[in-house]
Structure 1
Amino acid sequence: MAKLPVIVSFGGINAAGRSSFHHSYKRMVHEKLSAATMANTWQDLANKMQIKHDGALSGKVVEQILAGTLVRKIEPACFDYQRVPYQHRAPLKVGDERITFALSKRKLPNQIPDAWQVEEIDNRTVRITTSGELDVLLPDTYQFPVSSAGQIPAGFDPGSLYNSRFHPRGLKLTVYGASDALNAMGIDWADVLNHIKPDEVSVYAGSALAQVDDDSLGGLISAPYKGGRASTKMMALSLAEMPADFINSYLINSVGATGTNMGACASFLYNLRQGLHDIKAGRARVAIIGNAEAPVVAEVMEGFRVMGALAQDDELNNIDGTTEPNNRRACRPFSENCGFTMAESAQFVVLMDDELALALGANIHGSVPDVFINADANKKSISAPGVGNWVTMAKATALAEAILGRDALNDTFVQAHGTGTPQNRVTESSILNEVAKHFGIQSWPVAAVKSYVGHSMGAAAGDQLVASLGVWQYGLIPGIKTIDHIASDVHQSHLNILQDHLEVGDRMQACILNSKGFGGNNASALVLSPAKTKTLLQNKHGEAAMQAWLQNNESVAAKAAAYDSAECAGEAQVIYQFGESVMDDEHIELTKDSLKLSEFTRSVSLTIDPDLEGYL
């Protein structure tokens, strides 16, 4: 029987907080949860945000936490939106007059303009005299037209938890997010490696926009124009697959398959499909999947703004009839809206094949039978939506019907792409509505978590996934709380587009994550609930195997819970193993049938894949 990719851990950080143990989810639905349930989430956020508290977490502390999370006004940790640096090119026309100024010899251009007269003042300084016209750049600042973004909790700096000097923000988020997922697994990585061969691990992680701040591509490109100098690290740390490289080299010491599969805003699901296909094909027994994105950078946001993609302050004001934008409600999926809201996030999941998950007693948070990816075919605009998402949603729903049965489709829900753009609200609602109608779904619950955490580009579907896992733990589908009505052009005859949290208890058996990306990158993933996953595993492996798993899981769950308690208490445990267990040529033993690496208990097999023998 085919192997089932089981979600055994997840972790990360976004505007709602830490992902593991459903803390970011709980922040979204906190109004519906008891004070006792929320206590450790408030504690976790207060400690991360450097908010002083006496342990009682008073109302003022909670108010400060609420104000410093979710979509909000852009904070200086990202950039000062009120004073964005800018330079005006200005030709100074002086006519018959002359301009004289002093300049360091070291600053003289290699090519001296013909109109310049250069006189030495001393060993270090020259006097320049020129007439006619002088081209200069005048430094200035301007207020950015967009003041809203989804940012990690205010005051939290993941780079302070390890030696992160010169690391771009996206890689700092990677180290924290992937560490969170690995620590939350409740199984030491060394124990996992004892059960598998060194190359039976896949890591697919990246950034759709690569690393673009001053410590990476942004600094590399701008250095010559700012009079700066490129560092030796900028080029390497700019690469889109660098999150996977960091995980392999500094977190898990992996020689397995690696890379990133980019699909714009659907990149997380592209990587998820790579990992689950490796597991289903037997090429890997463990897959670490994720994306990290830090695009709340003025230059990146300007690129999307000039495309007309972002919700600008003046447009929000026009909708609301106000003079000040409501930053909290910047993202309004399926309502009257004007654009999406940029966000930063890092989300990671650990998948295992079903046999390994049971053998290790791993926590079972759900499973992913498949991810469907289809392009848009011919269309007039590369950024416009097309037909591909019809294909992915129809396939995902058909698979859900095959696994659950047609009647049980009414016990599923959708995590919509839900960007908050006028075009998305029409096109995506049309697809979801028609698919629901065709498959006999009467009132399909539709959530859109970008209304809480913004659009984190390549990591966006990861935000959707971790929020969906929370539904199965606490029985609440997050509503779209930033809207007060559904727009008149939205298709909803067979949809229940949630404007408030929906209590579903343990009824939901599956959800579909939907992603749409620039260029025609469409992906839809079917995710099964923990309960449904356990039922499938019992049908395949039998009652005895499940009882053995349950017994083994006791220590795993306890160790994972201990990590959560320590993290909530502010005792950060980021994994970063720079320069440890390094291997070179001297640490390899090569034979005809295997390759032995000194840092691994088991060897890499060199035997031929049986599936290929027929071609030889």
Structure 2
Amino acid sequence: MRRRVVITGMGVMAPGGIGVNRFWALLREGRTSTRRITLFDASPFRSRVAAEIDFDPEAHGLEPQESRRMDRAAQLALVAAREAVADSGIELRERDAHRTGVCIGSAVGATMGLDLEYRVVSNGGRLDLVDPAYAIPHLYDYMVPSSFAAEIAWATFAEGPCTVVSTGCTSGIDSVGHAVELIREGSADVMIAGATDAPISPITLACFDAIKATTPRNDDPEHASRPFDETRNGFVLGEGSAIFVLEELESAKRRGATIHAEITGYASRCNAFHMTGLRPDGLEMAEAIRAALGESRTGVERVDYINAHGSGTKQNDRHETSAFKRSLGEHAYRTPVSSIKSMVGHSLGAIGSIEIAASVLAMKYNVVPPTANLHYPDPECDLDYVPLAARDHRTDVVLTVGSGFGGFQSAMVLARPDRSPT
């Protein structure tokens, strides 16, 4: 019999919503956290808006040496992990450390730290040959994203499987999916899994400016992220982290854990087509959805809510709409769909995990979060995208999806514990 995997702890660091409760309040109220970039002078760039976190490391329990050692993305992950472990009530010191693992997703690693330190060692870009004498001692940790997983493992006494998943914007789903498989196959009993990214830096803005993927709507930052809206013109960059405690179901029951949700299905596909382009028929995402539902043993008619990728680019939103119709058939027209990127921006590798958290909370409260700023629906995006305001809706099964540059397409099915398929 296949081992079943459940979420027993959650921690979230998101723009406008530090901690699970504040994050849910932002989504429930449909508030946006997008604004003009304040982390550095963004005036030279085409897109100058982002969803930033008002984050004070010391106020969130990080010691000065931890803040010095870790890139911002690692700091966000550590704070989220501490919240998740506390939420789960699990005593990790009392467990077999070799049966506890870590899996962290990240698209761009320690981008902010590397960007900042390059400016230091190059003296503001004036030196062709950089001077390493001015680098911080922990610069190597910025270069290797594996340092993120190592930091979480040290903090959670985990000596089992420890890895980083980097599949671009699907990293946050894929890292959790990989952790689920490790528990199912028996390699671990507990996994600390999720994702983190803090990409709001000059180099990242330059990368997305070059391909015009981010919005130039700088005069109205609060309404700049407009998934599925006819006036959308690119995504809004964000940052954040979401970390989960995953456990084998029977073990979680024996210790009396509160079970937030069961992860019943996961799948990923790649379109092998184009680095940034998407076929309009949505075939690869549809195949990932079908495979995830098949592993979940869940019929399409049981899907109560779809947490969309909904990046706010023209081709992504149309591609997703086609994928939902292709995979769910007529049921797609009866199923509420929404994109929380309209409120918290697109935190690249982290957003998939943040959206898993939103999906779990939608089930907990039977409320579908809205797609903010959706005033003029694109006629080609003709599903129920829950515009502007949250909706009370019985939600027992959620499908959450992700789409990333390179052609990555991922899907995950989550179920309320008392309604999970057998």
Partner residue in 1 for 2:289:
393
Aligned equivalents of 2:97 and 2:347: distance in 1?
A: 32
Partner residue in 2 for 1:146:
47
Aligned equivalents of 1:350 and 1:274: distance in 2?
A: 13
Q: Structure 1 stretches of 5 or more lacking a match?
A: 32-65, 83-142, 317-323, 540-616
Letter in 2 for 1:24: F
Partner residue in 2 for 1:433:
325
The change in CA–CA distance for 1:515 and 1:476 in structure 2 (over 3 A counts) is same
Question: Which whole-Å deviations, capped at 9, do the CAs of 1:536-567 have from their partners, x for residues lacking one?
Answer: 6xx7xxxxxxxxxxxxxxxxxxxxxxxxxxxx
Partner residue in 2 for 1:473:
364
Q: CA deviation at 1:392?
A: 0.4
Mapping 1:211-610, distance limit 5 Å:
211-213=110-112, 215-216=113-114, 218-220=116-118, 223-224=121-122, 225-226=125-126, 229-249=134-154, 251-312=155-216, 316=217, 325-335=219-229, 336-377=231-272, 379=273, 381-386=274-279, 387-399=283-295, 402-403=297-298, 405=299, 407-409=301-303, 412-437=304-329, 440-490=331-381, 492=382, 495-505=383-393, 507-533=394-420
Q: CA deviation at 1:221?
A: 7.3
Are the counterparts in 1 of residues 194 and 241 from structure 2 also a CA contact under 8 Å?
Answer: yes
Question: Which whole-Å deviations, capped at 9, do the CAs of 1:157-195 have from their partners, x for residues lacking one?
Answer: 12553222242211111221111111121233224x1xx
Are the counterparts in 1 of residues 29 and 390 from structure 2 also a CA contact under 8 Å?
Answer: no
Task: Name the TM-score, length of structure 1 as normaliser.
Answer: 0.63
Letter in 2 for 1:70: S
Q: Structure 2 stretches of 5 or more lacking a match?
A: none
Question: Which whole-Å deviations, capped at 9, do the CAs of 1:315-334 have from their partners, x for residues lacking one?
Answer: x3xxxxxxx62101111111
Q: CA deviation at 1:433?
A: 2.1
Letter in 1 for 2:400: L
Is 2:99 the partner of 1:200? yes
Aligned equivalents of 1:340 and 1:6: distance in 2?
A: 32
Are the counterparts in 2 of residues 206 and 242 from structure 1 also a CA contact under 8 Å?
Answer: no
The change in CA–CA distance for 1:427 and 1:511 in structure 2 (over 3 A counts) is same
Are the counterparts in 1 of residues 370 and 390 from structure 2 also a CA contact under 8 Å?
Answer: yes
Q: CA deviation at 1:441?
A: 4.5
Partner residue in 1 for 2:14:
14
Aligned equivalents of 1:526 and 1:475: distance in 2?
A: 16
Q: CA deviation at 1:236?
A: 2.1
**SS of 1:256 mapped into structure 2:** coil
Q: CA deviation at 1:294?
A: 0.5
Question: Which whole-Å deviations, capped at 9, do the CAs of 1:66-123 have from their partners, x for residues lacking one?
Answer: 7xx7112212xx21224xxxxxxxxxxxxxxxxxxxxxxxxxxxxxxxxxxxxxxxxx
Aligned equivalents of 2:4 and 2:119: distance in 1?
A: 45
Are the counterparts in 1 of residues 227 and 311 from structure 2 also a CA contact under 8 Å?
Answer: yes
The change in CA–CA distance for 1:414 and 1:406 in structure 2 (over 3 A counts) is closer
Is 2:59 the partner of 1:167? no
Structure scoring higher RCO (CA < 8 A, sep ≥ 6) equals 2
Q: CA deviation at 1:27?
A: 1.6
Moved segments of 4+, more than 6 Å = none
Aligned equivalents of 1:178 and 1:306: distance in 2?
A: 34
**SS of 2:317 mapped into structure 1:** helix
Question: Which whole-Å deviations, capped at 9, do the CAs of 1:509-562 have from their partners, x for residues lacking one?
Answer: 1111110111111110011124324xx6xx7xxxxxxxxxxxxxxxxxxxxxxx
**SS of 1:72 mapped into structure 2:** strand
Match of 1:71 among 19, 34, 50: 34
Aligned equivalents of 1:531 and 1:429: distance in 2?
A: 30
RMSD, matched Cα: 2.1
Aligned equivalents of 2:16 and 2:337: distance in 1?
A: 20
Partner residue in 1 for 2:83:
180
Question: Which whole-Å deviations, capped at 9, do the CAs of 1:232-291 have from their partners, x for residues lacking one?
Answer: 311223212221110112x11221110112110000111111110111111110011111
Task: Name the TM-score, length of structure 2 as normaliser.
Answer: 0.90
Residue identity over aligned pairs, in percent, reads 23
Aligned equivalents of 1:211 and 1:310: distance in 2?
A: 20
Aligned equivalents of 2:300 and 2:159: distance in 1?
A: 43
Q: CA deviation at 1:468?
A: 1.4
Are the counterparts in 1 of residues 371 and 386 from structure 2 also a CA contact under 8 Å?
Answer: yes
Aligned equivalents of 1:307 and 1:176: distance in 2?
A: 33
Question: Which whole-Å deviations, capped at 9, do the CAs of 1:416-463 have from their partners, x for residues lacking one?
Answer: 11000111121111111222226x444121110000000000011112
**SS of 2:238 mapped into structure 1:** coil
Select between 349-358 and 228-237 the one with higher mean Cα deviation.
228-237
Letter in 2 for 1:16: G
Aligned equivalents of 1:461 and 1:343: distance in 2?
A: 12
